[in-house]
Amino acid sequence: MNLIDGKALAERINEQTRVKINRLKERGITPGLAVVLVGDDPASIAYTRTKDRISKNLGFFSRKIDLGKETSQSELLKIVGELNADPAIHGILVQSPPPPHIDEERIVVAIDPAKDVDGFHPMNVGKLAIGDPTALVPCTPLGCQRLLLDSGIETSGAQVVIIGRSMLVGKPLALLLMRKGKGGDATVTVAHSRSRDLANVCRTADILVAAIGKPEFVRGEFVKEGAVVIDVGVNRVEGESSEKGYRITGDVAFEETASKARAITPVPGGVGPMTVAMLMVNTVTACEHQTGVTG
């Protein structure tokens, strides 16, 4: 069993991003990222803090905008509009999920597609679907693909099963892995909680991706010998056995699947760091597209 170290790969990618940023700065351009947080969700606060810290460390112009949970939809739309018009900002991210009174879909559509570094705007989703290389691709699927590529795992001709059909991971990852060329050309099955005989479907996979949001849902019986397992899940499981009173686990029961897998991502330290690294990559890409200057 080979442990796929997403943390180490993310660090290497961040160094490549730093080099690109320095080259852009030499030509008078500083890539700018704005991260907007609405409310006081502890996980969201931690995520936005990490994104802001890493972006500043890499040399971005970084704006972190913290808004109270009582912020109205119209106030948030006004801020998004201002960021769309700000030439110093090349990437905009509104942390998900927002408070319940905010219509997240309207916020996503309001972001300039050229600055949509999350890759959720319908225009970017459509570009991904038709194979347009200028699409800004959602960060977690892009991170999964990079993990496979940089680990030397061949996707061409591979049977891939993705458990989860969300627009965050499952659907865009299927589109990425089906694309022609490097990191693509896979035969992809998208399964979900309503799929019949799910374990049997999963056992057909050369590459199994778990993105269903249920802790340790994928058991040993789901994995065929020699498969590659990518665990996208991050779940907080309450329990007194940990000092914190909870533990973080993925969607995969690690111990019973790792013994069968050729390669597997851990949680934490697998897909998570890659998601943030690809956000930084997307922001540089967005800057290059907007300025016509390559780093």
For residue 5, what is the DSSP state?
-
What span, in angstroms and rounded, lies between the C-alpha atoms of 41 and 188?
35
Structure tokens at 207: 């590459």
Instruction: Check if the beta carbon of residue 228 is closer than 8 Å to that of residue 210.
Output: no
What span, in angstroms and rounded, lies between the C-alpha atoms of 51 and 214?
25
Backbone angles phi, psi at 71, to 5 degrees: -55, 130
What span, in angstroms and rounded, lies between the C-alpha atoms of 29 and 174?
34
The label of the residue with tokens 């225009």 reads 123
**109 CB burial (10 A radius; 0-12, 13-18, 19+):** middle
Instruction: Check if the beta carbon of residue 218 is closer than 8 Å to that of residue 163.
Output: yes
CA distances from 36 to 55, 91, 173 (A): 14, 11, 25
Q: Active-site positions?
A: 51, 95, 118
